[in-house]
Structures are given as C-alpha cells and as structure tokens.
Structure 1
Amino acid sequence: MNCNTTQLPYIATGYFSKIATDYLQQAPSLRPFYQYEPTLQGIQEAIKDRQQLPLHRSLLSASLQKQYSAVTTTEAVQKNIALLQQDNTFTITTAHQPAIFTGHLYFIYKILHTIKLAARLKQDLPQYEFVPVFWMGSEDADLDELGNIWLSGDKLVWDTQQTGAVGRMNTKGLEAIIHRIEGELSVQPHGQELVQLLKDCYGNSPDIQTATFKLLNALFADYGLIVILPDNAELKRIMQPVFEDDLFNQTASGIVEKTIGRLGEQYKVQANPRAINLFYLEGNIRERIEKQGNEWTVVGTDIRFTAETLKKELEEHPERFSPNVILRGIYQETLLPNIAFIGGGGETSYWLELKDLMQHYKVSYPVLVLRNSFLIVEEKWEDKIHKLGFGLADFFQNEQQLLTALVTRHSNGHLKLENELLAAEQLYKQLREKAGHIDETLLPHIEALEIKTLKPIQELEKKMLRAEKKKYEQEQHQINTIKAALFPAGGLQERIENFLPYYALWGKAFIDCVYKSSLTLEQEFVILQQK
C-alpha cells in the first residue's frame, strides 16, 4: 500500500473555526490564554516546568500494571509502563470518550498523532523518554453521540436502554451492528480479520470501557500506546482536594468565568462552567451535583447529602465523583507527567479557558497541539478529479465554485465581459471629467447612469454563465458525486466516516499509512492519496 500526501494550511480548507486557525497562526489575541507555543522550544519549556511540580509515578505505574494484567500486550507497552517510573520520562496525551467501534476517523488520527509526536521528540530530545497516552473519557454519558457509527451512508445506532456512564454500559445489543458490519465488510481482504477483532473485543468484555481498551490495545500496542482508564478509585483519590474545593467553595467556576469574560469578547466559548463541576457516578446514574440551601442533591434522583455526609462520601468513594470538562484536564495533568495535549479544534478551544484555573491549583498546563486532520482520497476519486482538470486541493471549494471554474476554463474566458465592463467604466470616467468642467452638479446624475448601465452588463454575464453551465450536466454530476464521496453530508470526511471500511480493505497497513503520513508540530491539513 502506497501513501502519498499533499499538505495545505488549515485556513485554506474553510472547515475550521476562527479560534483554531488563530491559534495555529499564533494570533496575539489568544496569546494570554495558553502557556507554551506548540514548538520544540515550547516542549522544552514545558518539560522544565513539569519537573518542578509533584508527580505520581508509582501510583500511575502500579495502576497500569494492574489494568494491563487483564490483556495480552506488547513489549513496547510493557517498556513504556516501566519508563513512567523514571524521572526523565514524560507523556504526550490525547483523550476521547469510548465511542463504539471508535466512532469517527479522527479518533484514530489523534491517537496516531500522539504516537508520532512522542517518537519525534525522542529523536529530537534523546535525553528524555516520551510515552504516548490515550486518556479514555469513559464517564461520559452522551449515548446519542457515542452509540452510533456511519457505514456506507447508513447510521447504525446501538439499540440499548441503558443510562449513566457509557464506559460502564454492558455491550449487549452491539452484536446486531457487528452482524451488519460482517455482512458488508467480510468480503474485503481483511474483513474477516476485522470482524473477528470486533467480536473478540466487544463480545468478550463486560462493558464498553473494557471493550474499547482491548480494541485500542489490539490496534496500537505495537506502537507502545498506553491506554489509561481514569474511572478508578485509587487514581481519583489524588483529586480529593480539588473535588472538595469545587463542592464546598465553587472556586473553579469563578476563575473560568473571568477567563471566558476575556476570551468571549472575540471568540465563541466552547465550554461554560457550572457552580459545581462534578457529576455523581453510581450504578446507572451519572447526574449533576447541585447545592440547594444547606444540602447537596443529585439532579433527577432522591440522593441528598449534608456537608458531613458529602465529605464522608468523597473520602470513602472518590470514584463516585466524575469531573466535567472544566475539571477533567486537571485530573489528567495531576496524574500524568504530561507535557503536551493533542486535541481537536473544540478541545483546543476549551483548554484555552483553563490556564488560570490550572495555575490556581498549581497543576501543569500542557503544550496544546491541534490534532492532525486528513482527507483520504482513493485512487479512483483522484483519477476523476484529474480528468476534470482539477487538483485535490480544489475540491475544498463548493460545487458551484468548481463548476464555474470548469466552465470558465472551457470557454476560454468568452463568458467574461471584463473588457465590455472596463470600456463602459472608461466611458463614464470621461463623461464625469467633461461634466465636471461644465457643472459639478451633473456628477450624481452621471454616476446614476453608470450604475444603470453596468448592472445589466453584470447580469448578462451571470446569465451567460448559467446558460453555459447547462451544457455541462455530466461534469456537474461528476463534481457532485466526488464531493459527496469526499465530504459526506457536506462536512469533513473524518467527522462522519469510521475506520472500519479502510481497515477491511487494507488491514494494519492502513494504520501504518496514517502513522507514516502523520505530522508532528507542522500543523497543516493532510490530503492522503491511497494507491
């Protein structure tokens, strides 16, 4: 399998938010909201600062040893777990919820970006060790987002009535989706291998968290990726002081609101804090905690706490307290010897809200790296694009722009009335000069005549273009077909499609291809041509 790539600036794609592109361009307006630039120098500064803060290496290593005892993994993973105990080892981290069958393609991309950056830093800074980490957001309860995938244009939805944290849900009902996947993809060269992998991971696991852990271990253990399951009582105990402060003093909301007040003057705010930024997590319940008078209640339930019983609950069962987006990063950065976080545009946006909060709690703030984005173009689509006379990057334009470019090119410019418009403009320029010498009050009348003259010519040009476009129905159909294939539902491919069809076709060579094509700190969009 051969992979060729073309790179272009994110801003040139038209698919990324202003805050994301401004961050990539290091806009001065965003500089107060992050600590380090996403450069090698920024990485070195983050390492220096991280070494000055408390670490939990023994706790982390012991927890991972216990977690990985349940699966067969690689020497690369075992080595990285051991390396985490060394003072010169740091992590590069990405995070995501346990979407079934990995959800969207960007799930895979962000992991491979994390692995690639860790490998590059080991070469550039050989005095240190770097371990790639995936932090699983298994406490998320958004089943509508996590419980479906798209396959061949169809949305396959997990039929389950379970509630609470998705990671804790059992896998019953997913066999129906696996059966559909098998029927569609088993005929591909690696289809049977893929289906068996899904059956092994989801059919032999008690919950989604475990199934996702097994799947990621199978796909990425050869690269040494460490998967962390933070829904863990022993690990959460390190967060007791922060959780208690949030429950009783609501400190976080006040700090983040001030940051949002400044950031929101120019950008859309990604995440808003609540007075209390914790959920209560027990059984099939994951609901917000609110303070009402002198009591704390779990929304939608009969569970209530006094100050005394709440402190006791936190002390005895820290695993029952689940941080929302405002506090999750603090948990991650407290536990890990982390120096960089790789996330999408939305994640980068909400991390920009957290610098002051992390400084308050004396927690390290990582280098923020926007995750890699890819457009996968199979050879058949590339051939069709070139036959139409376009380059791959051209197809980030909309259908009408593409058709206009094609028609204009084929008509050799005969549809453009630029010369006629220029001649008319020159005529009225001369009239203004003559009239100006006679009576300046005539100038408004001449300007009005010019507008009346130019507008019909401009409208005629548009009509000529529309009439010519009708002659290109076949080309228009081809453009629409290509756009629908590469930009499903009018958006980026990586936000709709799943990795399954590509793996069924190429096997692990697909993962290797994306890895080899992944950038590290270059921060550009990549068009990946598969041959």
Structure 2
Amino acid sequence: MELESFVLQNGNKVMQAYNHDEKFIHNFFDYKNESNSYPERLEELSNRSFLREELANVIKTFMEPFGISDKAAQHIGELAENGVVVIGGQQAGIMTGPLYSVHKAITVILLAEMKRKELGVPVIPVFWVAGEDHDLNEINHVYTETSGMVTKHKYREKYILKLMASDAEYSHEMMTTFVKDTFRQFGETEHTKALLDEVLTAVRMETTLTGFFVRLMNDLFSEHGLLLIDSAYKPLRELEKSHFSDLIQEAENIAKMIASKEEEFDALGFGKPIEAEYDAANLFYVHETGRVLLTRDDGYFVNSSAGIRFTTDELLKVASEEPWLLSNNVATRPIMQDLVLPVLAFVGGPGEIAYWALLKDAFHHLGIKMPILVPRISITLITPQAQQAMTDVSMSLSDVLSGKVQEEREQFIGTLHNERFEDLIRETETLLESKYSELASATDRSMEQLLQKNLEFHKKQLDFLRNKAEESILIKHDVALRKYRILENELIPEGSLQERIYTPYTFMNQYGTKLVRDLLRQPLKMDGTHQIVYL
C-alpha cells in the first residue's frame, strides 16, 4: 500500500473558502481548523456540564449486543469521567453504504488519537449513526461493476413511507439473497468466502437496517475502540429531554437565525444548503404514518398533511414524557450532539460543513459555541489493474479524476477508423445517387417515388455495413478500450469520486479484510488534499 496526496481540480467552493478564507471562517464558525483552536475548545468544554455517567451507560447499553472491545470499554470509562470526543456520523447504509462512511470513521479515529497525544487528555472517537433518518432510498442500494458497466443494485423490500432506518426491519431471506447477489457481481477471489460469511452473519444476527450497519462498522473498527450510538436509540432520547424542551421553546428564534444566516451564505454565492424557512420548527415528530416534519403556524406546531397540531405546552409534554417521538432535522442535529456530548471536534464532508455554516448564531443563542470542524479524509483507492490501465493508455491520475477519460477514449476510437473502407462506402453512395438520378431521368414521373424508396434502402444497407465495420474494429481493439472502462468504472464511476459510489466491500473483496486496518496505519493527511492509496 502506497500513499500520495493530490489536489482535486474544480474543488468544492465552500471547502475552498473553509480551508483558505479567514473572513469566511470568522463569519460562519467559532474556531479555525488548526492546532491552536483545540486548547481553547477544551477550556470551553470544561466549563460546561454533561450527564457523563448516564451518557456512558447509554452508549455501553447500545453497543453491548454488537460487542464491546477492550479499547471501546476503556473509551466508555473515560467518557464517564473527563473524556472529550471527536465525532462524525452517517446514515445506516447497506453494507456500510459508500466508502466515505468508512473514510469518515477513519478520520474520527486518527484525529482522536492525534489530539489525545497532543492535549494529554482522553479524546474518544464516536460515530453517530443517523438511524432517525427516513429517506430509505438513500441507503437501500449498493453499486457494482457488471458487464463493464456501473450498476445500481437496489434492495427491493417495500417499507412504510417515512419509516426511520432504525425501525426498518428487513426480511432475512431477501437480504441474504441481496448480499449473495452483490458478492457474485464482485467476482470470486481468495477473500470472497470469508467476507461473505462475515456480512451474512451480520444479516442473520440483526433485524433492522441500522443494526446491520452498526454490526459491520463495529466489526471493522472495534480494534480502535470506535464508539457507536444510534440517534434514534430510546435511552439516548431520554437524555435529550431537556434539550428538546429548549429547542421547542426557542424554535422561533432558532428558525429566524438559521434562515437569516442562510440568506447571508447565499448572498456570498454559496447557495442554500437546507432551504431554511422562517416558520420551521426544525423538529420531526414520529407519527403513526411515519416521521413527519413540524412547522410553526400561529403559535402551534403542525404538520397539516398528517393532521398533527400541538400547542407549545403539548409538545413540551411530549418532550418530557415520550422524547423518542421527537427527532432532529438537519439543522438541530448538530446542536443536539453538542448539547449531549462533550464534542471537541466534528468530522464532516463538504455538504455537512456547508449546512453547519448556517448554525453559528443558533449555537450562541443556546449558550454554546460550535465545535472545531474538520473535513473528513477523502480517499481514492487505486487497484493494480487501474494503475496498469493508466500506464497503458498514457493517462495521468489528474486527467482521470478531472473527467477526461471519455474524451481520451473517443480520440483513441477516432484513430481506429478504416479510412479506405469509409472512402469506398462514400464513393458507392455517390455512385448510387448518380445512377438513380439517371434512372429517374430515363423513366416517367410515376417511378420517382419507387426509385427514391429503393435508393434509401440501399443507403441503409451501406450504413449497416459502415456500422458493422466500426463494430468489428471496436471488437478487435476491445482489450485497449477495456482499459478506459476500467478507469471510468473504478475511479470515477457515474462521473463521481469512487468514495461516493462503492461500498468498501468492493475493494476488500480484492485486497482482503485488512484493508481498513492498513488504511488506519497510513500517514493520511487531514489538510483538505485528496488521498490516493495504491493497493
């Protein structure tokens, strides 16, 4: 395994500003992403109170069914005392979802280990599983390369509209079939059987999409003591009671601050990441029809389509007595994390950092500051066959990742044309047109339509020959053309970075179960550059 750093062209505009524009950071965040910020943030956390023992017990109780390693047990104990956390999170994707879920966990672990050494205090890696999310279409699929094409494989079980991932139970038979079919697309290697057995064991032992995700992630990172917690876990909701009450009572002020901040963000050319509304409640209610978003209307918290209508006092009662019926939206989830956990730093992707930029005033209104935000490590894995393909077609990694593969392939195809054959086809077409013109002049007008139709028939036959000749050339040069397909399918599938498309099991099937362990041993940089790992 070899490593190099790479600067992506046409990078994300928000990330460019976050990494280089001090005015942007000052306007939208409390801390710069630099070493000097950590002691200050640590001091701030020391002046706040957290239900540490209760929180540690909640995480312990949640993780026990999945297995708690010695390192994780140590971290839970430290959290109960004076530990602080580095946290990141993701939806509960099938087979861990895309690679960036694993990259996020890797960043959390490496940053926690680094800051533990630098600060001399327990810094604990935590992964927040967004089990409350209900958009199951975002997590119910995996991609594989099938017959030279990137194919989306969707888990077909039907779920109730807006059912949370943590409540979405799957059919063991259907999920087993889905996983086996997915591995079949990966192809058989020396690692396939062991990997497939591990994933099928997780399928068998769990019942929900969130449970399936957590068991796989726990298995991948238990050696490093990564703590996992589901945002929809009822005991966690119990700890959030008072914070839900604050969010309800301050809903109007919070909504105004977020919407106003987004207008400022948009005016600077960064767009509207969450389309914030001034009448938003920024909370969901778990109704019999599913998880539904609440808005504020004339002093009430409502969802008209579900027929829901709460007074403030009624919703406060829900928060106090049945807090598991409430959940946060994209705007209040970061605030809730920071109120419940002693968050030293948050690890996020470009999209997350964009919507966090809207929350500074809301954090301050609740008497807290935003944590340090650290962009997750971004990685592209280069297999030996992809590396060889770049060499064979004389393309640089920069060309590949900037989307030039298709252009290069078309240029290559352009060099393959049989010019002599094409010239003869054109000559034949010209001769046909000339002779049919003579035929037309040698007969009466009643034959014109028939002659034209006959001419078109012969021209179509010539087109057929032309296409067959091109097809023959492409078949003859398929080995060379396959190199371009390898580069597109492996490195920029669907026109996106590899980490946004493929599950890590795609590459573990080729490299082995030690892939994640070996990645964690690399000197991966957290400086905004893209990390290239040659397998």
The one-letter amino acid paired with 1:7 is S
- Tell me which of 343, 346, 353 is aligned to 2:351: 346
Give CA-to-partner distance per residue, 1:48-69, whole Å, 9 cap, x none. Answer: 2211122221111111222223
**TM value normalised by structure 2:** 0.80
Q: Which residue of 2 aligns with 1:271?
A: 274
Equivalent residue number for residue 171 of structure 1: 170
Whether 1:44 aligns to 2:39 is yes
CA shift at 1:321, angstroms? Answer: 0.4
- 1:22 is aligned to 17
The answer as to whether partners of 2:282 and 2:295 remain within 8 angstroms in 1 is no
5+ residue gaps, structure 1, are: 411-471
- Please name the residue that 2:72 is paired with: 77
1:360–1:296 Cα change, 3 Å: closer
Paired residues, number: 461
CA displacement, residues 119-167 of structure 1 (integer Å, 9 cap, x when unaligned)? 1222223x21111110011000111111111122221111122131122
Deviation at 1:307, TM superposition (A): 4.2
1:253 aligned residue (239, 252, 255):
255
Give the Å deviation of 1:495: 0.9
Letter in 2 for 1:156: H
1:528 is paired with a residue of what secondary structure? Answer: strand
Map 1:430-469 onto structure 2 (within 5 A).
none
Unaligned runs of 5+ in 2: 416-476
Structure 2 counterpart of 1:160: 157
2:248 touches 2:312 (CA, 8 Å); kept in 1?
Answer: no
Q: Which of these residues, 6, 9, 28, is aligned with residue 8 of structure 1?
A: 6
Correspondence for 1:445: none
2:420 corresponds in structure 1 to none
Determine the C-alpha separation between the residues in 1 that align with 2:79 and 2:44.
18
Q: What is the CA distance between 1:398 and its match in structure 2?
A: 3.3
SS at match of 1:328: helix
The alpha-carbon distance between structure 1 residues 53 and 201, as it changes in their structure 2 partners (threshold 3 A), is same
> Quick check: 1:151 aligned with 2:144?
yes
Q: Which residue of structure 1 lines up, in the alignment, with residue 111 of structure 2?
A: 117
Which residue in 2 is equivalent to 1:129?
A: 122
Aligned to 1:455: none
Alpha-carbon shift at residue 294 of structure 1 (Å): 5.6
Name the stretch that deviates more: 105-114 or 39-48: 39-48
Instruction: Summarize the Cα distance change of 1:294–1:47 in structure 2 as closer, same or farther, 3 Å threshold.
Output: closer
User: Which residue matches 1:228?
Assistant: 229
- Change in CA separation of 1:480 and 1:177 when aligned onto 2, cut-off 3 Å: closer
Instruction: State the Cα RMSD in Å.
Output: 2.7
After TM superposition, list the pairs within 5 Å mapping 1:371-520 onto structure 2.
Answer: 371-399=376-404, 403=408, 478-479=483-484, 481-517=486-522, 519-520=524-525
| Corresponding residue number in structure 1 for 2:208 | 207
How many angstroms does 1:238 deviate by?
4.4
Q: AA paired with 2:179?
A: I
CA distance in 1, matches of 2:346, 2:337: 10
Distance 1:214 1:483, change over 3 A: closer
Taking the aligned partners of 2:489 and 2:201, their CA distance within structure 1 comes to 34
1:141 corresponds to:
134
The alignment partner of 1:375 has SS state of strand
Q: Deviations over 1:318-355 (max 9, x none)?
A: 11001101100111111111111111100011111111
Kindly indicate whether the alpha-carbon contact (under 8 Å) linking 2:71 and 2:225 is maintained by their aligned counterparts in 1. Answer: yes
Q: By how many angstroms is 1:28 displaced?
A: 2.6
1:304/1:156 CA distance change after superposition, 3 Å: same
Structure 1 CA distance for aligned equivalents of residues 177 and 88 of structure 2: 30
d(CA) in 2 for partners of 1:400 and 1:370?
Answer: 28
Look up the match of 1:416. Answer: none
The Cα of 1:369 is off from its aligned counterpart by: 0.8
Deviation at residue 280 of structure 1 after TM alignment: 0.7
Give secondary structure in 1 for the equivalent of 2:50: coil
Measured against aligned partners, the alpha-carbon deviations of 1:419-456 in whole angstroms (never above 9, x if no partner) come to: xxxxxxxxxxxxxxxxxxxxxxxxxxxxxxxxxxxxxx
The one-letter amino acid of 1:121's match is K
Question: For the residues of structure 2 that align with 1:145 and 1:218, how far apart are their CA atoms?
Answer: 23
Q: Distance in 1 between matches of 2:508 and 2:231?
A: 28
Q: Tell me the SS of whatever aligns to 2:36.
A: helix
Aligned partner of 1:180 in structure 2 is: 181
How many angstroms apart in 2 are the aligned matches of 1:213 and 1:483? 31
- Cα distance, 1:296 vs. partner? 3.5
Aligned-partner residue type, residue 229 of structure 1: D
Tell me which amino acid in the other structure corresponds to 2:201: D
Gap change, CA 1:156 and 1:400, over 3 Å in 2: closer
Cα gap change, 1:167 to 1:41, in 2 (>3 Å):
same
Which whole-Å deviations, capped at 9, do the CAs of 1:245-285 have from their partners, x for residues lacking one? 54455221111122112221111121233421111124561
Given candidates 305, 328, 333, the residue that maps to 2:310 is: 305
Deviation of 1:75 after TM superposition, in Å, equals 0.5
- Give the direction of change, closer, same or farther, for the CA distance of 1:31–1:311 in structure 2 (3 Å limit): closer
Cα separation, 2, equivalents of 1:361 and 1:239 = 14
Match of 1:190 in 2: 191
What code does the residue aligned with 1:514 have? L
For residues 520 and 485 of structure 1, the distance between their equivalents in structure 2, rounded to whole angstroms, comes to: 23
Task: Check the 8 A contact 2:258/2:361 in 1, yes or no.
Answer: yes
Q: Distance in 2 between matches of 1:177 and 1:60?
A: 36
Q: 1:380 to 1:480 in 2, by over 3 A?
A: closer
Inter-CA distance 138–84: structure 2 relative to 1 (3 Å threshold): same
- Paired letter, 2:104: K
Aligned-partner residue type, residue 13 of structure 1: Q
Secondary structure of the residue aligned to 2:320 is helix
Corresponding residue of 1:319: 324
Q: Does structure 2 conserve the Cα–Cα contact (< 8 Å) formed by 1:181 and 1:195? A: no
Q: Deviations over 1:507-526 (max 9, x none)?
A: 23211232223635333111
Pair 1:102 & 2:96 matched: yes
- Write the deviation string for residues 461-481 of structure 1: whole angstroms up to 9, x where unpaired: xxxxxxxxxxx9997874465
| Distance across 1 between alignment mates of 2:238 and 2:183 | 42
**Given the alignment of the two structures, is residue 521 of structure 1 paired with residue 518 of structure 2, yes or no?**
no
User: Which stretch shifts more, 314-323 or 395-404?
Assistant: 395-404
Deviation at 1:299, TM superposition (A): 4.4
The Cα of 1:24 is off from its aligned counterpart by 1.5
Q: What TM-score, normalized by structure 1, do the two folds share? A: 0.80
Q: Is the 8 A contact 1:148 1:155 kept in 2?
A: yes
Shift of 1:231: 1.6
